[in-house]
Structures are given as C-alpha cells and as structure tokens.
Amino acid sequence: MTEHFALLELPVPHTRALTALLKLIPPDEFLWALTGSAGLRLKGVDMPVHDLDIQTDEKTVYLIEQRLAGSMKTAVQLWESPGMRSLDGKAEVEGIEIELLANIAHKTPDGTWRTYTDFSRLVWVDLHGLRVPTFPLEDELEAYEAMGRSEKAALIRKTLVSLSNS
C-alpha cells in the first residue's frame, strides 16, 4: 500500500465534496477508490475536474448507494456500450456530481471482457490530512487506453515520464 502527498490540488468545491464522502463512506469500512480526473489530478495529472468518480465492487456499490440514499440522483444500474460495461449510479454531494462505478469491464479485440480494477494495488494520497484511496497511474493508463481515451492516456503517460525524471 503506497502513500504519498497530493501533487495537485482539487477545486475547493470538489475538496469539500470529497471530505464529505470520506466521512459518509469511510474507505476503512467501504472498499472504493477515487478515479477519473480527480484521482488523476491528485497524482499529478494536470487536468480539469468536473465530478468525482468512485470506483468499487458490485457488493459495495449498493452499500454506498444506501449510505448516500438522500443524495442519489440516478439509482445504480447496469450500463453497457459496445466496448464497455459497468454498474453506474449518480449522486450529488455538496453540489458536486458523484459517479458510482462498479464491475467496470472493457471489451478486448478478441471479444472477451477484461477489468483493470485491482484493489490490492490502492495508492493512498494525503490531501490536507485526508487519506484518499486511488489507483496507480500505470493502472489508470491501461484503463484509459482500453477505453480508447487517447488524450487522457497521453496526459497520464506524460505525467509518468515527468515523475520518473524528477
């Protein structure tokens, strides 16, 4: 379990929402990781943050949905596209959209489904004394490449190179 300090700040409203989430769904009680632009930003990828993405497993996503019941905007449900599928729900906390994701799988060229989620590899980031669970940049890079999100993948790759040179 790796730990380090946040390399970039989140916008104040997102930090407020994340603080509330850490109290509502403490990571020592609920298995989850902050992913997407907010998680990447904490690890040094310079990009704008619009919402907070919480990634978890199938059992925990429903427990989190119950815990956030008063804040849910869209119930957790199966979401599927030709190249990706997941359980997906939306909440709003402190005015910020929270996307709940679980069982994310990407379709490979041979037609099989693959997941890039490995909770044994969590990286804990310290943001003003808050311990935030995230995934390693290398894992995020693989996932963004699998989604065909080449611009974000390039930003992650650039950050990895920059961090390895510093």
Considering the domain boundaries, does residue 9 fall inside one?
A: yes
DSSP-derived secondary structure letter, 57:
-
Q: Which pLDDT score is estimated for 112? A: 87
Q: Which residues of the chain, if any, have pLDDT below 50?
A: none
Considering the domain boundaries, does residue 165 fall inside one?
A: no
Phi, psi of 24 (to 5 degrees): -70, -40
The rounded percent of the chain whose pLDDT value lies above 90 is: 78
Mean pLDDT of the chain: 93
Range of the domain at 32: 2-157
Considering the domain boundaries, does residue 20 fall inside one?
A: yes
Q: Which pLDDT score is estimated for 1? A: 58
Q: Which pLDDT score is estimated for 155? A: 94
Considering the domain boundaries, does residue 166 fall inside one?
A: no
Considering the domain boundaries, does residue 163 fall inside one?
A: no
Considering the domain boundaries, does residue 148 fall inside one?
A: yes
Q: Which pLDDT score is estimated for 68? A: 98
CATH number at residue 27: 3.30.460.40
How many domains, the chain? 1
Strands (E), the chain: 2-5, 32-35, 52-56, 72-80, 84-93, 96-107, 113-114, 123-127, 130-134
Considering the domain boundaries, does residue 91 fall inside one?
A: yes
